Structure 1
Amino acid sequence: MDKRHTKISKFLSYVLRHRPDEIGINLDSAGWVAIDWLRAASAAHGTEFTRTELDYVVEHNDKQRFAISDDGLRIRASQGHSIDVALGYESRMPPELLYHGTAERHLPGIRLHGLVKGERHHVHLSDDRGTARSVGQRHGKVIVLEVRAGEMVRAGFSFYISANGVWLTEAVPYEYLLEPDPGTHGQPN
């Protein structure tokens, strides 16, 4: 995406995941808002974009962060909310292993508390190491942790998959994580 589309994408992430009140919109309980309302409120607060630009951002966002309703009238963020929404995802059986990319500096906290959702609704996991590495690189020197998701399910944990393929769970206790060996450059054995 070019600079203009990236700016729109970042704006949409902010208002649809964290602060719809900044532009005076309300999301429904599942996180949806009418596209016409979103565009009008955005323009009134200094961020104007066309429906064509919006459609382009939704379609070409590298992480597929947004979804448009089947009738084409509403939009929502696929996951990552810090506000109260019920996305309606059903519990699914994940692969035996999932991955979480993070900055190496977070390891002491992870060793104490496991992976926690923080201000978000869920911990975000990937089904491939490359995506996890890409996500973790945003935060510093990256490490990729393996999550023994199959064992977690057998122990009673639930997993969900978002519309854009991100695996979600409430928390990952440390005992279900595999850390990389120091000599493997962030790759678990």
Structure 2
Amino acid sequence: MSLDQSELLKKRDVQISKALSYLLRHGAQKEKLSINSNGYILVKDILSHNRLKTHKCTLEDLHRIVENNDKKRFHLKIVDDQEHICATQGHSLKTVKPSDEVLEPVLSLDQLPKRLVHGTNLQNAILIFKSGQIKKMNRNHVHLSPGVIGEDSEVVSGMRYSSNVHIFLKLNDSLLENLKLFKSINSVYLSAVDIPTDLVEKVILKKSLKMNSYQDEIATLQLLLDSKNIPCEIL
């Protein structure tokens, strides 16, 4: 395979992955696809949808994309000889309320990783600490990662690679008392409720944010954190 062909295949896989993410996380009902409460859709149905047919997506393509996806966004299973696919997290569909089969309830501190981090950007971080909550927004859950993506080799998902503000949570009994936490198939930790900033241990900004154009926003965030006695570092 030539370099050009390889790049075209990668581009097509990204397009298919985006179509899958949209249908499985957000658009199934609008697009008239039958999706169960765990977020699974029949593979034969999703392959028949125009968003995948546009890219001439085959079963082989779908299997390759699920297997190779760097964030492990999708999961396949076979039930009664029929293959089903779901998004591992990130749903905004309110009818999707995954059971223990898909999301593992976190009931003790022993089930938590060494770190729980919410990745975001500078502007959103300011809104978070002004409001006093990390909010779900239009998603069903707040996403938390067991580390920093791109830095911790075992972390594959839970935040965007572009996240330049990392909000670390306190791992104590108060966390479990205040939050309804789950662990997804791809090891993302999910809170079913908004997270109060009282549960924040510290905030770390990426070193790249020391650029002059961000100084006002950094100063605003630091003042907010100081008012809440939350340590802030730039690394």
Q: TM-score normalized by structure 1?
A: 0.84
Deviates more, 1:26-35 or 1:8-17: 26-35
**Aligned equivalent of 1:163:** 185
Within the candidate set 139, 146, 154, 1:120 is matched to 139
CA contact (8 A) 2:168 2:201 kept: yes
The 1:96/1:151 distance shift into structure 2, 3 A limit, reads farther
Q: Which has the larger radius of gyration?
A: 2
CA contact (8 A) 1:66 1:75 kept: yes
* Deviation sequence 1:122-177 (CA, Å, 0-9, x none): 100111123599834436xx111101133444534231110111000122210111
The 1:182/1:60 distance shift into structure 2, 3 A limit, reads closer
How many Å apart are 1:182 and its aligned residue?
6.7
In structure 1, runs of 5+ residues without a counterpart are none
CA contact (8 A) 1:101 1:132 kept: no
**Aligned equivalent of 2:196:** 173
Write the distance in 2 (CA, Å) between the matches of 1:131 and 1:172.
24
**Aligned equivalent of 2:85:** 75
Asked if residue 62 in structure 1 is aligned to residue 80 in structure 2, the reply is no
How many Å apart are 1:4 and its aligned residue?
1.0
**Aligned equivalent of 2:105:** 91
CA contact (8 A) 2:19 2:52 kept: no
How many Å apart are 1:102 and its aligned residue?
0.6
Is the partner of 2:126 in helix, strand or coil? helix
**Aligned equivalent of 2:39:** 31
Give the aligned length.
187
How many Å apart are 1:188 and its aligned residue?
5.5
Write the distance in 2 (CA, Å) between the matches of 1:120 and 1:96.
25
* Deviation sequence 1:58-82 (CA, Å, 0-9, x none): 0111110110014461001111001
CA contact (8 A) 1:179 1:188 kept: yes
* Deviation sequence 1:76-108 (CA, Å, 0-9, x none): 111100102011123123235301111011122
CA contact (8 A) 2:28 2:34 kept: yes
Write the distance in 1 (CA, Å) between the matches of 2:45 and 2:206.
52
RMSD: 2.9
Asked if residue 129 in structure 1 is aligned to residue 134 in structure 2, the reply is no
Is the partner of 2:167 in helix, strand or coil? strand
Asked if residue 105 in structure 1 is aligned to residue 123 in structure 2, the reply is yes
* Identity value in percent: 26
Write the distance in 1 (CA, Å) between the matches of 2:51 and 2:122.
40
Write the distance in 1 (CA, Å) between the matches of 2:16 and 2:88.
16
Write the distance in 1 (CA, Å) between the matches of 2:141 and 2:123.
21
The 1:177/1:184 distance shift into structure 2, 3 A limit, reads farther
